Amino acid sequence: MSLGGNSGDLMSDINVTPFVDVMLVLLIIFMVTAPMMVQGVDVALPETTSAALPSDKEHLIVTIDRNQKLFINDYQVSVDFLQEKLTKILEGTSGREVFLKADKTIPYGVVVHVMAEIKAAGIEKLGMVTEPLSEDYKDKKKAKS
């Protein structure tokens, strides 16, 4: 506080410069650390529909069968070389998207490991291929409710 001019009244001013400096430092810290806090695998799941989705081009499909064998379209590959193969197949293409088909009996950990390998290959969009709900399942669900 300081004495203000000739009137002898006390005048208080808040210096906002240190406050702005602290806020800018905090902003920079959050901007740097926020991308590091994101964990997991981003997956764009398609909706289950009764009709097939129209397609103009042939898509790359990674399949895990019930014996935990891994295929890129019809070509069998091991999990260790999946990232390398996908990188070579998709280099020079603009739309980097892959569809994943996995048998429903495959353990969750195996599917997540394959998804991580696909994302490590630089795939931007990963879709999950599903079957439409059968009429029997829908009828059973209606009967229960």
pLDDT band at 40 (very low <50, low <70, confident <90, very high): very low
Percent of the chain with pLDDT strictly greater than 70: 69
Higher pLDDT, 103 or 144: 103
Which is nearest to 121 in space by CA: 94, 75, 81?
81
Q: Is the pLDDT of residue 3 over 60?
A: no
Q: Is residue 52 part of a domain?
A: no
Q: Is residue 43 part of a domain?
A: no
pTM of the full predicted structure?
0.54
Can you point out the beta strands (E) in 65-144?
Answer: 70-72, 75-77, 97-102, 125-128
Q: Is residue 89 part of a domain?
A: yes
Q: Is residue 123 part of a domain?
A: yes
pLDDT (0 to 100) of residue 142: 64
> How far is it, in rounded angstroms, from Cα 105 to Cα 28?
46
30 and 66, same structural domain? no
Beta bridge partners of 60: 98
Which domain range does residue 18 map to? 2-37
CA angle 49, 111, 47 (to 5 degrees): 15
pLDDT (0 to 100) of residue 8: 63
* Total H helices, total E strands in the chain: 4, 7
What is the tally of structural domains in the chain? 2
